[in-house]
Amino acid sequence: MRTLSLYQEGDSIIHKIDPITKIIFVLITILIPIIMGTLNSAFAFLIISLTLVIIAGVIKKVLPIVGFTSIILVTVIIIQGLYYFNNRTPFFAIGTVVFYKEGLLYALEIILRIYSIINSVSLLMFTTKPSDLVEALVKKGLSPRIGYVFSSVLQIIPQMMSTVDTIIDAQRSRGMEVEGSFSRRIRAFIPLIGPAVISSLIDTKERAMALEVRAFNSRYKKTFLNEGTTFKYADVMQVSLISILIISIVLRFVH
């Protein structure tokens, strides 16, 4: 079964934490370094989120993302190192190109922030079942219809993709060439996309009716089969995370 989910099975303590606490953690790793605006806070959150990723046992999945982002982040170093508006102290030079200390420090801060965001978002995505995540949000008041869209898309898109594969095979068996030069591919596109769109529309209509007869638009208050990943310390953790956020805001204004 192909799904688009990034979820990795596991039984670490991180997997047991409820989705809402993880979402709050993600928000905090994004917000606090911005609010504090210091290198230390960015570094601290990188260490924290990286440690959690290791505990969750998903570091192998995160490394490729970090690697890919690094390529982009190299440009940040170059641009800020050369052109940051506060640049005063030359740090080193390659030929006539001078890199400045202020710019490099600023780039470092950006990089630390981005890496810690990647780590914390990965933590959420790799250790939370999408269905649990959506269900937690619906329980918190997200519309069940929007929740359905999020959770069904992960399974229905792969289904649509296999429909497209079938259509490609069918058109090929009738002699249509789908490979080759660019113009040939463009010409092949229309006979493929037509049936794909129409069959998806028909499927969607049928699915809409099938949902209707299962009381999708019911006016009763929805209940949930899974009472949710009940995590003992969820409340404590959420309160402390939010307190940390408030403290950081206060500190910022005191300074």
Partner 1 sequence: MFFMKIITVEHLKYKYPLSDKLALDDISFEIEQGEFIGIIGQNGAGKSTLCQALVGLVPNFYKGSYGGTVLVNGINVSKTEVSEVASHVGLVFQNPFNQITGSKLTVYEEVAFGLENLGLPVEEMKRRIDNVLNLLGLYEFRDKNPFDLSGGQMQRLAIAGIIAMQPEVIVLDEPTSQLDPQGSEEVFRVVQRLSEQGMTIVMAEHKMEKIAAYSDRVMLLHDGKLIDFDIPKKVFSREDIEEYGVITPVYTRICKNLDIKDENGFYPITIDEAHERLEKIL
Taking CB under 8 A as the rule, does residue 152 contact partner 1? yes
**218 sits near partner 1 (criterion: CB under 8 A):** yes
In the chain, % helix, strand, coil (3-state, to 5) comes to 70, 5, 25
Q: Is there binding between residue 213 and partner 1 (CB under 8 A)?
A: yes
Contact window for partner 1 (CB under 8 A) among 96-104, 118-126, 143-151, 231-239:
143-151
CB of 148 to partner 1, least distance (A): 5
User: How many C-beta atoms surround the C-beta of residue 64 within 10 A?
Assistant: 9
Cα 104 from chain centroid (whole Å): 28
Q: What is the DSSP string of 148-209?
A: HHHHHHHHHHHHHHHHHHHHHHHHHHTT---SSSHHHHHHHHHHHHHHHHHHHHHHHHHHHH
What's the closest the beta carbon of residue 199 comes to partner 1, in angstroms? 11
> Is residue 196 a contact residue for partner 1 (CB under 8 A)?
no
**# residues near partner 1 by CB under 8 A:** 36
Per DSSP, the three-state class of 12 is coil
The interface region with partner 1, picked from 46-54, 113-121, 129-137, 245-253 by CB under 8 A, is: 129-137
- In the bound state with partner 1, the residue whose beta carbon lies nearer, of 31 and 164, is 164
Told to check if 101 binds partner 1 by CB under 8 A, we report: no
Which residues, at least 6 apart from 222, have a Cβ–Cβ distance to it below 8 Å? Answer: 138, 144
Would you give the DSSP letter of residue 221? Answer: P
Establish if 211 lies at the interface with partner 1 (CB under 8 A). yes
129 binds partner 1 (CB under 8 A): yes
Residue (144 or 191) nearer to partner 1, CB:
144
Q: Per-residue DSSP letters for 55-111?
A: HHT-HHHHHHHHHHHHHHHHHHHHHHHHH-TT--SEEEEETTEEEEHHHHHHHHHHH
Nearer to partner 1, 145 or 185 (CB): 145
Q: Looking at residues 35 to 64 of the shown chain, list those that interact with partner 1 (rule: CB under 8 A).
A: none
Q: Pick the piece of the chain touching partner 1 (CB under 8 A) from 19-27, 47-55, 183-191, 200-208.
A: 200-208
Assess 156 for contact with partner 1 (CB under 8 A). yes
In this complex, which beta carbon is closest to partner 1, that of residue 78 or of residue 154? 154
CA distance 247 to 32: 10
Of 165, 153, 161, the C-alpha closest to 207 is 153
Determine if 220 is a binding residue for partner 1 (CB under 8 A).
yes
Does position 9 bind partner 1 by CB under 8 A? no
Residues near partner 1, by CB under 8 A: 1, 129, 131, 134, 144, 147-148, 151-153, 155-156, 159, 203, 206-227
